[in-house]
Structure 1
Amino acid sequence: MSLLRHPRLAALACAALLAAGCASTTTGSVATDGRGRSQLLLVSPEQVMQQSLQYYDQQNQKARAQGKLVTSGAEWSRVNAVMQRMVPQVAAFRPDAARWPWQLVLIDEDTVNAHVMAGGKITFYTGILRKLRLTDDEIAAIMGHEMAHALREHTREKISQSAAGDMALQIGGALLGVGEGAVALAGLGKQLALDMPFSRHMEGEADLYGLELAARAGYDPRAAISLWQKMAQAGGGSGPGFLSTHPSAGDRMASLQGAMPRVMPLYEQARARR
């Protein structure tokens, strides 16, 4: 029996699936004032991990073939040292993450970027180190942000959200008896009204969780402000925030500044222990 031929049954199945998929991957952050957030997680972590590792391997093979993959040397060692110092702090949010096989690769490209794959596979580009002349504290701000994406399983959440949105559009079209053109228009509305703001929300969430990770590891969280000042000057924060999947540099700095009183005590405690 096709559910799309029985739209009411499909709608009920969709609602049940969405309800069952709501969970949270971590505890709340001090930087978010302890507030947690329920996440839509319809796909399994194993599925996302498999896809992420496949992409990560392809990325590394391509960089290696081009002679751009860096896995040792002064720059790699510096960034890896920051990561290794921060990894134990992930247990504050989810104990299992401290046992993940966290791994860093550095790609020798003139790109101001870094990203993470599910399970803690982190990629930095030499461009972000060299162009922004990053301090260790600023590297920690970026590292914390990327680690937070992995901890919060944002990739899994985005895939789940996209699947749920597509399902809702198909069911809505069947219920209303509208044509494909109207459904496509609704899809554009969904992208502007749901997908983009939610992506911005996840970016902001990663900023705040990352701020706490850096502070717990004894890196000055105030470096996140100087980092985004540099990013704005380099053009990385340009463009209107409304039609972007990333918050503007100004919005990010305001949010980070607002969380600073809550994370500074963690930084001071960590520095006192070192």
Structure 2
Amino acid sequence: MTSHFRHDAELPEPPLSPEGHQQGCGCFLHRRRLFTGALAAGAGLAAMPAWAREGVEVGKESQFSKFVSADQIEGAAQSQYAAMKQQAAEKKALAPDNHPQVIRLRAIASRIIPFTDEWNPRAKSWKWEINLLGSQQINAFCMPGGKIAFYYGILQQLQLTDDEVAMVMGHEVAHALREHARERMGKTLATRGAIELGAAIFGLGNAGRMAADMGGQLLTLKFGREDESEADLVGMELAARAGYNPRAGVSLWNKMGQASKGAPPQFLSTHPSGPTRIRDIEMALPKVEGLYARAPKPEQRFEPPKAASAAAKG
């Protein structure tokens, strides 16, 4: 039975990164990205010539990731994920295994996961988890080590199709595979080291240190947008290989745009604007449409939760 599962619990914000920053999944809420994952990216894949594989092309992994241990990040993520599950369970906001949307999410994940190790060899040994949190937040994430969670709100409010869910999931998993959080933490460590050294040499006071910190934050803005664009591309390929239509990225971001009216302009955000994302997705479609055409398609399709108004009537 799933009647005890609360769809609208007041859950805490997504977990803190090891840096102590709250990083809600700006992919969907136009805030700083959640501690979405990040481990050894597919270095071998990035080094391969473009003609050696079919699919999207992304850059090599950042050297800043070398400053942070993947094992430590995975351990921290596992602890944070377990704590979040416990908090949700205490509020009856952790969906049980037999919930229709949990079954749906795990079925989609089971098709995507087999293609992850090409992007990150460590993914083969990850203990993947996929859970549903009963909150109306429009959010989803994947932590290091394959710890995935969707919020009920993103499924219900946006009425996501399976193809759109696969695009969201592929995007979040891509953040983990491409070690984006690890890069971010490594860059922060390097920046802080430079700031402390500069303060010591030049005798800067608190005002000087604050200005330097602000400069470091500005450096991360473009970096964040690149992360999101890369995750869009890798996520598209994962979804296509899993048999889900990559064109769903267009309808997904149209829905996101409708749900996030009043969002900050692109130059003030760490993430590309909706129209920019849609344009980039459309440009990349030819690279993954062949993969989708040849991929076995899901034998079973699922429906999203009833819309809030319909659920209230029912």
**TM-score relative to the length of structure 1:** 0.85
The Cα of 1:174 is off from its aligned counterpart by 2.2
1:158 aligns with 2:175: no
2:112 aligned to 79, 86, 89, which one? Answer: 86
Distance change >3 Å, CA 39–CA 226, structure 1 → 2 = farther
Higher helix content, 1 or 2: 1
Distance change >3 Å, CA 247–CA 69, structure 1 → 2 = same
Identity %: 41
1:217 aligned to 219, 239, 242, which one? Answer: 242
The Cα of 1:167 is off from its aligned counterpart by 0.7
The Cα of 1:236 is off from its aligned counterpart by 6.8
Aligned to 1:12: none
In 2: Cα distance, 1:132 partner to 1:124 partner: 13
Aligned to 1:40: 64
Q: Is the 8 A contact 1:138 1:227 kept in 2?
A: yes
Aligned to 1:135: 161
2:270 aligned to 241, 245, 251, which one? Answer: 245
Distance change >3 Å, CA 185–CA 34, structure 1 → 2 = closer
Deviates more, 1:87-96 or 1:227-236: 87-96
Distance change >3 Å, CA 24–CA 172, structure 1 → 2 = farther
1:109 aligns with 2:125: no
Q: Is the 8 A contact 1:31 1:260 kept in 2?
A: no
The Cα of 1:31 is off from its aligned counterpart by 5.2
Amino acid at match of 1:78: R
The Cα of 1:32 is off from its aligned counterpart by 4.3
Aligned to 1:59: 84
In 2: Cα distance, 1:173 partner to 1:74 partner: 56
In 1: Cα distance, 2:205 partner to 2:54 partner: 48
Counterpart secondary structure, 2:243 = coil
Counterpart secondary structure, 1:181 = helix
Q: Which has the higher contact order (CA 8 A, sep 6+)?
A: 2
The Cα of 1:102 is off from its aligned counterpart by 1.0
Structural RMSD (CA): 2.1
Aligned to 1:265: 290
Distance change >3 Å, CA 146–CA 236, structure 1 → 2 = farther
1:197 aligns with 2:246: no
Deviates more, 1:141-150 or 1:155-164: 155-164
Counterpart secondary structure, 2:116 = helix
5+ long unaligned stretches in structure 1: 1-22
The Cα of 1:201 is off from its aligned counterpart by 1.3
Counterpart secondary structure, 1:104 = strand
Q: Is the 8 A contact 2:55 2:291 kept in 1?
A: no
Q: Deviations over 1:66-92 (max 9, x none)?
A: 000013211110111000110001122
Aligned residues: 251
Counterpart secondary structure, 1:144 = helix
Q: Is the 8 A contact 1:31 1:259 kept in 2?
A: no
Amino acid at match of 1:263: V
The Cα of 1:34 is off from its aligned counterpart by 5.3
The Cα of 1:24 is off from its aligned counterpart by 6.4
Q: Is the 8 A contact 2:131 2:148 kept in 1?
A: yes
Q: Is the 8 A contact 1:216 1:266 kept in 2?
A: yes
The Cα of 1:203 is off from its aligned counterpart by 1.4
Q: Is the 8 A contact 1:196 1:245 kept in 2?
A: yes
Aligned to 1:68: 93
In 1: Cα distance, 2:275 partner to 2:198 partner: 38
Distance change >3 Å, CA 182–CA 95, structure 1 → 2 = closer
In 1: Cα distance, 2:55 partner to 2:282 partner: 10
In 2: Cα distance, 1:30 partner to 1:169 partner: 43
In 2: Cα distance, 1:170 partner to 1:56 partner: 33
**TM-score relative to the length of structure 2:** 0.75
In 2: Cα distance, 1:37 partner to 1:119 partner: 18
Q: Is the 8 A contact 2:195 2:212 kept in 1?
A: yes
In 1: Cα distance, 2:270 partner to 2:114 partner: 30
In 2: Cα distance, 1:39 partner to 1:170 partner: 21
Aligned to 2:6: none
